[in-house]
Amino acid sequence: VSPRAGCPQRAQYGPCSLRRMSVMEALELLDQLVDESDPDVDFPNSFHAFQTAEGIRRAHPDKDWFHLVGLLHDLGKVLVLFGEPQ
């Protein structure tokens, strides 16, 4: 049994039963949030995701998987919209 098998979030969100969305839709949802770790930023949270991916692409042009990780790294924050704390 996986150590995370008993995780209540896995049971609640693992089946993706609350909402299905594309990555672009999730990135757009990020823009509805005020990130508690950086509340004074004047640009959308999705911009940060693209900025991170682009910075990684410049530094590591041969690692497309890493570019993708940079883009996706904050997507879990959309769970705030479903009642999870930041």
Q: Is 48 annotated as a binding residue?
A: yes
CA 44 to chain centre: 13
Query: Please, which residues have CB within 8 angstroms of residue 69's CB and are 6 or more apart in sequence?
Result: 56
Q: Provide the terminal-to-terminal Cα distance of the chain, rounded to the nearest Å.
A: 28
Q: Is 74 annotated as a binding residue?
A: yes
Binding residues: 48, 73-74
Binding residues for Fe cation: 48, 73-74
